């Protein structure tokens, strides 16, 4: 599974410029046009023609499988404008971090998964969960980014992400079948694309403490290489110049000073630069 994910990441990187650039710009502008037209037209003809409707889709109106992405509305025009601007910014940040191809695939996967489940169980595909997957994705890439709650109180992204995930868990338990599973299916694109990186929404200090309590490991053994002609002697593998294997280029932490951290190498930096799990998606690329 790990090799499959690595191959997928390489494929996305090789094709990172393909797809629709600035996808969220078109989605935000389209949603704004639909919202304004709905305010002008009391019958909301355009809005209703774009909404997800299983019966009409089966009658041949297949565009509804995708056009409900343009039906975002928060009721109030100011809140709607702020919401569209926010989702555009989140999507733009993810596209910059991932590349156009991977972000397009992420967004399209969310739409298709909701379409399939909604068609099978005769439900309404909701743009809310598509936007929520964007926010969770952004919060996973940039957990320490701050949002102003009530436009006053600064709150970090990972806090909102944990609240949203807790609400999804509550719906899974409290809602009747098949409505309880729909939020999980709708966010399957988030879990599929991030994999174990989903844990980044949990503060590192929490993860370290949890690993110490539930998965405490003993000290790592020194690797040895036996030689058939060496009798009772064994050669010990040591690093003379560096007492560590990986070191983060941004914060300087190593696999020795912080053994619970994961380290990766950035394919976009010009050179062999290593970063910890907190900075692999949050650093300035070295040209």
Residues 65 and 156 in one domain: yes
Domain final position from 167, 202, 237: 202
- Asked if residue 207 has pLDDT above 80, the reply is no
In a domain, 157, yes or no: yes
pLDDT tens for residues 24-56?
Answer: 999 999 999 988 888 888 787 888 888 888 889
Distance, in Å, from the CA atom of 167 to the CA atom of 187, rounded to the nearest integer, reads 13
- Asked if residue 243 has pLDDT above 70, the reply is no
Distance, in Å, from the CA atom of 150 to the CA atom of 167, rounded to the nearest integer, reads 20
- Asked if residue 229 has pLDDT above 90, the reply is no
Distance, in Å, from the CA atom of 171 to the CA atom of 177, rounded to the nearest integer, reads 10
Q: Which has the minimum average pLDDT: 68-72, 91-95, 203-207, 239-243? A: 239-243
Residues 120 and 80 in one domain: yes
pLDDT tens for residues 249-263?
Answer: 888 888 777 777 788
Q: At CA 216, angle to CA 211 and CA 222, rounded to 5?
A: 120
Structure pTM?
0.69
Domain final position from 153, 171, 202: 202
Q: In Å, what is the CA distance from 213 to each residue of 172, 201, 208?
A: 28, 20, 9
Beta bridge pairs of residue 153: 149
In a domain, 214, yes or no: no
Residues 164 and 244 in one domain: no
How long is the chain? 287
Residues 25 and 113 in one domain: yes
Q: In Å, what is the CA distance from 82 to each residue of 21, 79, 280?
A: 22, 5, 29
Instruction: Check residue 267 and give its pLDDT.
Output: 77
In a domain, 208, yes or no: no
In a domain, 46, yes or no: yes
Residues 169 and 101 in one domain: yes
Residues 62 and 96 in one domain: yes
User: Mean pLDDT in the chain?
Assistant: 79
Instruction: Check residue 104 and give its pLDDT.
Output: 92
Residues 249 and 159 in one domain: no
In a domain, 212, yes or no: no
Instruction: Check residue 29 and give its pLDDT.
Output: 93
Residues 78 and 158 in one domain: yes
**Which band of pLDDT confidence, cut at 50, 70 and 90, is reported for residue 285?**
confident
In a domain, 209, yes or no: no
Domain final position from 152, 173, 202: 202
Residue 92 CA to chain centroid, in angstroms?
Answer: 13
Residues 61 and 161 in one domain: yes
In a domain, 42, yes or no: yes
Mean pLDDT on 207-217: 62
Distance, in Å, from the CA atom of 28 to the CA atom of 22, rounded to the nearest integer, reads 10
Q: Which has the minimum average pLDDT: 93-107, 121-135, 267-281? A: 267-281
Residue written as token pair 């910890």: 276
In a domain, 213, yes or no: no
CATH number, domain of 42, equals 1.20.1540.10
**Which residues constitute the domain of residue 29?**
2-202
Number of domains in the chain: 2
Residues 144 and 18 in one domain: yes
Residues 189 and 285 in one domain: no
Mean pLDDT on 219-241: 42
Q: What is the largest CA-CA distance in the chain?
A: 91
DSSP per-residue string spanning 64-76: HHHHGGG----SS
Residue 121 CA to chain centroid, in angstroms?
Answer: 26
Residues 126 and 232 in one domain: no
């Amino acid at each position: 599974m790990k090799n499959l994910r690595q191959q997928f990441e390489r494929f996305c990187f090789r094709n990172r410029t393909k797809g629709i650039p600035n996808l969220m710009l078109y989605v935000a502008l389209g949603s704004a046009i639909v919202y304004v037209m709905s305010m002008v037209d009391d019958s909301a003809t355009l809005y209703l023609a774009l909404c997800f409707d299983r019966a009409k889709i089966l009658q041949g109106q297949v565009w509804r499988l995708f056009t409900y992405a343009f039906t975002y509305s928060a009721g109030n025009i100011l809140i709607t404008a702020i919401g569209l601007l926010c989702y555009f910014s989140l999507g733009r940040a993810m596209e910059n971090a991932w590349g156009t191809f991977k972000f397009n695939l992420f967004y399209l996967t969310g739409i298709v998964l909701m379409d399939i489940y909604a068609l099978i169980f005769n439900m309404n595909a909701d743009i809310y969960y598509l936007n929520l997957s964007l926010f969770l994705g952004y919060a996973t890439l940039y957990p320490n980014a701050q949002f102003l709650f009530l436009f006053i109180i600064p709150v970090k992204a990972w806090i909102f992400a944990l609240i949203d995930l807790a609400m999804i868990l509550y719906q899974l338990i409290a809602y009747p079948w098949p409505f309880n599973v729909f939020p999980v299916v709708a966010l399957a694109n988030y879990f599929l694309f991030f994999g174990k990186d989903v844990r980044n929404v949990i503060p590192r200090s929490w993860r370290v403490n949890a690993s110490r309590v539930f998965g405490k490991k003993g000290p790592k053994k020194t690797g040895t290489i036996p030689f058939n002609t060496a009798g009772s002697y064994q050669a010990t593998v040591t690093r003379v110049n560096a007492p560590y294997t990986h070191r983060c280029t941004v914060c300087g932490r190593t696999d020795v000073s912080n053994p619970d951290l994961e380290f990766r190498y950035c394919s976009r930096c010009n050179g062999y630069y290593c970063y910890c799990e907190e900075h692999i998606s949050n650093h300035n690329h070295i040209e």
